Chains A and B, each alone.
Chain A
Amino acid sequence: MPFNRRRGSLRKDDDLGFCELSFQRRPELVSIVRRFVSDFYDRTLADPDASSRVALATHELLENAVKYARDGQAKVRIEVSVQGRSAHIRIRTHNRAAPEDAEYIRRTISEMRLSSDPNLYYLDVIRRNARRTEGSGLGLARIHAEAEMDVSVKCGAKGAVTVIAETDVQLSEAAVTARGVA
């Protein structure tokens, strides 16, 4: 894969259906990763809409992880578990964030999970943040509403933050056929 060994690494295992990338602060890599995972999702899911949604989520999560990494290092892991005609997709990003950023993420996700309607919550966040000057404040709500993914967070020691977005998707006929699932 076209990644500089000093800057990043790539691991891919088709049998387990996951890929994991880690790299230092290079925002231009985020779009490269989005295109790579779009291809990964396209081939695994054969569902353009699902691919588009999870690619959007991957981009937003990774961009946040890179932007708010105190040491400039971020990691993304994408898992696709296929069971029969459905797949569970889980995207995890990991970084070490400043305490106030970790607290903001924890608080935002907690508030978001209390909302019963992702789209209404998203609209509310759009209204609240329309004139905000620092950061968009929209990324997590966008993942929840537009990408239709559940979002959770784990905060660990020394500022470790893992944000997880996950969803179930029905596999298309093309994907089922390609995998030989009855």
Chain B
Amino acid sequence: MVQTFKHQSEYKVIGSRPVRHDGFDKVTGRAIYGGDIKLPGLIWGALTRSPHAHAKIKSIDTRAAEKIEGVLAIITSKDMPETEDKMVDLGEGDENPRWTSNKLMAQQKVLYKGHPVAAVAAVNRYIAEHAATKIKVEYEVLEAHNDVDSALRKDAAIILESLEGDDLGEEIHNTNLAKHEKYEFGDVDKAFTNATYIEENTYTMQMVHQGYIEPHNATAFWDEEDRVKIWTSTQGAFTARTALSNLLQLDVSRIKVTPCEIGGGFGGKIPVYLEPIAALLSKKTGRPVKMMMERTAVFETTGPTPGGKVWVKIGADKEGKLIVAESKIWFEAGCNPGSMIEPAAQCIYAPYDIQNTRIDTYDVIVNKPKVAPYRAPGSPQVAYAMESAVNDLCEKAGWDPLEFRMSNASDKDTRRGDGVKFSVIGTKEVIKATKNSDHWNSDLGTSEKGKVRGRGISHGYWFNIGLKSSVNLNVNKDGTVTLIEGSTDIGGSRASISMQAAEVLGIPAEDVRPSVVDTDSVGYTDVTGGSRTTYATGFAAWEAANNLIVEMKKRVALYFDRNNEDVNFESGVFSVEPDIENEKPERKITFKEIAEKIDDDDLGGPVNSVGSVDLESAGDGFGMHIADVEVDLATGKTDVIRYTAVQDVGKAIHPSYVEGQMQGGAAQGIGWALNEEYFMQDEGGMVNSSFLDYRMPTSLDLPKIETVLVEVPTPLHPYGVRGVGEVPICPPLAAVGNALKDALGIRFSDLPMNPAKIIKAIGN
């Protein structure tokens, strides 16, 4: 049975903005990220990588590298343990260890540019990297597939020979199609015949990267007992432990993962890359081994989000009711199966109540790095398509875009494209808040000569996951409480989790002292990702705090010489009513005061508690963004001159960090809309694999990003928290695209919508 909650209207701690608990360490440079780890005897590892996107490995000659002074070990796929062949759930995407092992160290073939072929351990980083370039590999180059159309051609070279594809339940072989799924409700074909207005288009997009500033890193030590210690910047220490257990064929109890501070993840640091290699190099050398990934390899070999094609056809009746929607979604999975076709289907129609829907999704293997989750994986791509189509439909019919969305808005019990029905959601509230926003009601203004302006809006949706979290609380004598958790703090979650415990306990947020600990020191906790951390680990902290109150009440009862059930707790104060019969008076004591007494004998020993949760959804999240753009008609240069992000956040525990998520997601979406893409060369392989040519927005490329926080608390959380982190990357693509349509009268259906494409379209 799913627990539901009614919510208070006022809180003491929730909604305030305390300084984050790890803040001082992070602004002084003291915080230890994965790259900062130092150990006695530490040596370095580096990888030899394939220059080809698709090739057979004919031979590997390590002799020249072995001779280099300072080289201590070299490994290839022969040193990788044999893994099982099954799907493993990593929290935001599944992986098959057999595919993964091959992905991390190529066996017979290289499947993407940068695919590791060998690894070197040496006394320092320079020698390791230098030696890695001296390993000679002979390749037989094969045709590389850069996109879904190429990979699905009848005569296409097959990338994974042993792939068993699944075409609507039917097993297929000799294919690059890993999966085809279908979702269908109502009568789509009939509904189209009843539609007065129809809009149909195909939208294309390239792979884009999460773009975290910190490269992947790992430090590993394999000891004499075959126990492995790992220090890594990861979004999930337990998930990494599971992955490593499968890849190294060791029981999880033999692996201890310490999550270091992390320099950004956005989903991309859920999979492991360097950890198993560092571990095997450590096994061979007997030394702790550190590896830092070079920036080109971060782009070329770690998961971007899928590029692909989304075909959408929608139909509305003459009253403005959206009655039917059909779509086909092809996503590039990269070199292994598993692009985010399920979430795409879950998200594409989510902001709308549509009776007749059909979705076909296709997971396609290409010679590119295996995709990894990137902030609402699959949702931004389909939002771009759907919201562009809705925009154009409204234009065609002469309907107001906000009114149309309001009258077709999804609500409680609306059925999603995959059949799941919503509980309480905030779609309508978000639309209303957008309508009332300062931005929407402000003039677009006029540009100087030669430039034009436009405004666009777009919905965005993510379902937000729940999953498992554990929290331990311990009371200190000074009335503070230590909070032990396993959720990597990527964006200030230590604060929001502590605040939820503090609210229950009636103490200030500063009096909860959080620690993010390793896999030996706290119970199982799923990834920091999926917009789940404030929700699920916060829920676990809430539960632990309530359990702590139970324990504290026992101490109070002993202290007051009363029964447990006589003790009340409210707003940080324990009390007992007078017991007239036994001549016992009313008594009160604060949390802090009773804490001071816990060392005393006779009070029942140290006070601690546990919270452990396994939750369903973190409450569906809806957002809507408004983008104003200005375009130079002669050059195609596009600037975002004003931007507002509206979002239903359920309940903002720490508003600054909620705003931060909205602004950060918006910035990534704007970069994706205007300039970011994997630029492939014909033979396969990304050519713009640096921050110079993979063009993420700089501070000079963005305006201030206004945020409007709507709060429709979800009954699924004690404080109404909805996941917030992923929704905000979904609207910007179409918001910018619709703004360009408004400015230029041109529909761009291919991302990124960069100046060259704009000039070409204007010229036509």
Instruction: Tell me whether A and B are bound partners.
Output: no
Q: Which B residues are within 8 Å of any A CB, using their own CB?
A: none
